[in-house]
Structure 1
C-alpha cells in the first residue's frame, strides 16, 4: 500500500480517513507515504493533536528529530492533556540525550495517565545517564 501525492482523493476524503491511512502506512514502515497522508489529514483538520502526534512518530522513524519534536510540541500545545504525545516527546528527547527535558515529558505523561511503559521509560533514563557518563 503506497500513497503518492498525485493520487486522486477517495470518496471518503476525511481527516480521519487520512489519519487512519497514515497509521497503516507507518505500520508497514512506509513513512514517507504516511507523511503525505498525515499532511492531507492536517489540511482538512489542522488542529488534530492526534494527527500531529502521529506525524511526529513518522518523522522520528525517519530520524528527522527536529521536525518530529516540532510536531510533538504542536500536538501538546493543541491538547496539553494528551498523555501519549508527552510520552512520545520523552522517547524522542531520550534518543537526543536531552535527559532533563525527557524526564519532564515523562513526568507530564505519568501525571496524566499512569502507564507501566511510561514509568519504565522514566526509570531507564537513570541508566542511560550513567552509560553516557562513562
Structure 2
C-alpha cells in the first residue's frame, strides 16, 4: 500500500476512501469520495478510473466511460483503466470496442486476466455468428 498523508486534503486519502466505500458497495458515497480526490487533483488518473468503476456498478455507463476516457487521456499507459473500459463495453455488448480496449491493455501489460477477457469476447462473438 502506498504511503500517503491521511489528511483529508490529500487526493490519495479520498481515493482510498472511495475504494473502501466501493468494497462496502456504497457506490454513491464512493463516487463523492472520488470526486473529492479529483477536485484536489484533476490529474489523479486512479481516482478517475475508480470513479468509472463505481459508476459502472450503478449502471451509469456513459458517465463511467467518460471517467475511463479521462483516466487514459491523463495516462495512456494505464492498463487497468483500458481493461475496465473494455469490461464496460463488454457489459453493454459493444464487443468491438471491448476488444480494442482489451488489446490496448494487453499491449501495455499482458496480464492473464486481460487475455482471458479478450479471448472470452472472441469466443462469444463466434457463438453469436454461428
Per the TM alignment, residue 126 of structure 1 is displaced from its structure 2 partner at its CA by: 1.8
Matches within 5 A, 1:118-129: 118-129=114-125
- Output the TM-score relative to the length of structure 2: 0.91
Q: Judging changes above 3 Å, is the alpha-carbon distance between structure 1 residues 132 and 62 closer, same or farther for their aligned structure 2 residues? A: farther
* TM-score under structure 1 length normalisation: 0.88
1:115 to 105, 111, 117: 111
Deviation, 1:95, is: 0.8
Q: Does 1:51 align with 2:47?
A: yes
Q: Which runs of 5+ in 1 are unaligned?
A: 1-9
**1:108 & 1:93 partners in 2: Cα distance?**
14
Gaps of 5+ in 2: 1-5
Q: What residue number does 1:32 align with?
A: 28
Residue 83 of structure 2 is aligned to residue 87 of structure 1: yes
Tell me if 1:99 matches 2:95: yes
Q: 1:129 to 1:41 in 2, by over 3 A?
A: same
Aligned length: 125
Residue 128 of structure 1 and its aligned partner are, at CA, apart by: 2.2
